[in-house]
Structure 1
């Protein structure tokens, strides 16, 4: 097993900064997710850990040993790629077995190791097939089995589910979650999908433009986002954010008045989650015409426009109204988050 430490790790190409001063310790057997939009530096960070990119500055340590100058093959990590990277001329059995052959593992042990890895991802019935004869989900399971058979100290997974359809993503995500529990191997998982991050991770690292925005458990990041970027990136739908001012403890904006804040007077960004608000009833803090309605099955999403922002709240699945109808939305101060109007940083109060 392995603890990984990144100390002041940066990656630059000329004037472009891909990753900036990344500091983090990934605990032994932890499942850590690097989350952020395309181009935020998450895959570059993973590639530096794997040895596929050289850091411009800083140190990478695995089990206390600096690995900056070690070749990828000497770092004892296994990587699962977005593109599967299977050998089309080999059947499933040989694709899974390939790392054992390359590393010179005793051939007498190959069959047992391959069959164990195959069973873990339910591929026993497909071992004779070539990759072209498999579905996307099956190919991804072959890639997982090929990583498992290595018995590495670290798993690195680079958006392994992005090529799968929605239904397969759900089932394969469950397989990865179960595998991480069974194998108890330090795992770093890169994704832009916040649902994957929330469901898989022990801890999440949210990144933007090469900079770490927040590190914490999924619950911590969801309940207490560090800034407006994290608030807008985590959650489905994302947190509602609107510009306004605090005046005498009351947040005010067009069609909005929410009392009960202790923050200083001045401009702020206010956020709240759609599921925390209530639609209809007395004591509404937001009153506006309905902009759109979305029937979700278990609920109805009601959206209104406040200034330039689209603000959503979840109503009961039986809620019925028409676009343009007036609606009242209850948003007490207790469910709200305040952020600095200039920097976007969280304000407590």
Structure 2
């Protein structure tokens, strides 16, 4: 079957305006990352470097670029539906502020210990949310993505699963703020497992990982499903569920051998920020790699690190390119391939990429086609 089987650019010519490549998808095929010994490439919120995050257009782009898995962050609606948003607040990634009919939904809430005033998914039904349109969350660094503002609705988990099944890729859902949603009587675990089961994702052999920055919901999920679970490790702080319970352990404790041993009792891997693998100094330059990858492997844990982005703003100083005084330097593309190649050679089992094509290209350079 020809690579160019159909064009999926959200049905819009805006892609050409933005100077992006045409999005094309093959028919269903095994995910490339299922090949033995090759790290997986996870389309972080889809191909969020090229399309507004958590839209079907972003997920399609990630699939076209060769991502092995697509990642929907999940939050809950008022009527108990799981939808793909980075967080449960809406103003920074949708046009909710342009909808006068929802002006009275603006609230001040405390989510995971942080107070903010915004519109929140749990105050909307799915039908109401579907009247909103997605927007680029960081327009200052990704101005090209803004041409797609207002074109895509918020996708449901089922739509993402359907897309993944249709094209033979894996899914990598993240439960966002699970303790917070539990406190509202909107448990995430049961509807997530039910949806995965409906689409045939229900065993360790299936191309699915469930991830969370919290620990309690992963331990609950372990009782509900056989799919693989990943404990996310933030660069600082502590899992919010542990904080709520007065447990003094932090993420720094979880990357120690005792913490990894505990994680291995309920999860199949860890998702650490790249700084736990290669620390950076105050100038942003890389230091000596840690033993985390080796230590995790000794406990039978896979290591999927995050997040590799193309822009200088997000890269270690060692891989930034261009004149720092030049306009647009922060948003300019650096040597993302070099950074990815370093991570691959350090033995990671997967990488979250905003531009999956970079992850696939670097993997080919390191491991061959």
- When normalised by structure 1's length, the TM-score is 0.30
Which protein is richer in helix relative to its size?
2
Which protein is richer in strand relative to its size?
1
Larger radius of gyration between Structure 1 and Structure 2: 1
